[in-house]
């Protein structure tokens, strides 16, 4: 798979499905603020989760979560602060990084 946007969307869709199956309500996808973007914003109980999804075809360049460096973490935190100010009063915020590894096969995709 050569299209990085398509790969990223595949990973986000899979992550949203996993979170939904675990009892999370998906509130927003690709929420954008002046500060940055949150791939998924979910709610479970009194906690709003800000989820960064990293999808890769291999671990060749390290674990996908390693791409969430200090700069990216600050942007997500500032985006979360903005979202909580506008929508999350009375809730707690939490953060999660989900790694999705997709491997391409001859006739379909395998998820590892």
The mean pLDDT of 40-59, rounded to a whole number, is 88
Helix (H) or strand (E) holding 74: helix 70-87
For the residues 17-28, what does the mean pLDDT come to?
96
**Domain region containing 80:** 4-111
pTM for this model (two decimals): 0.83
Q: Which residues contact 78 (CB under 8 A, 6 or more apart)?
A: 33, 35, 36
Q: Per the structure, how many domains does the chain have?
A: 1
CATH of the domain at 94: 3.40.1350.10
User: How many Å apart are CA 98 and CA 38, to the nearest integer?
Assistant: 12
pLDDT in tens, 67-93: 778 888 899 999 999 999 999 778 899
pLDDT band at 1 (very low <50, low <70, confident <90, very high): very low
């Amino acid at each position: 798979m050569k299209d990085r946007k398509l790969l990223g969307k595949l990973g986000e869709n899979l992550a949203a499905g996993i979170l939904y199956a675990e009892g999370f309500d998906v509130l927003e996808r690709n929420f954008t603020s002046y500060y940055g973007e949150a791939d998924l914003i979910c709610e479970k109980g009194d906690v709003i989760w800000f989820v960064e999804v990293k999808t890769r075809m291999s671990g060749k360049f390290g674990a996908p979560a390693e791409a969430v460096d200090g700069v990216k973490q600050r942007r997500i935190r500032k985006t979360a602060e903005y979202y909580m100010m506008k929508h999350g009063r009375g809730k707690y915020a939490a953060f999660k990084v989900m790694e999705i590894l997709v491997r391409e096969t001859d006739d379909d995709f395998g998820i590892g």
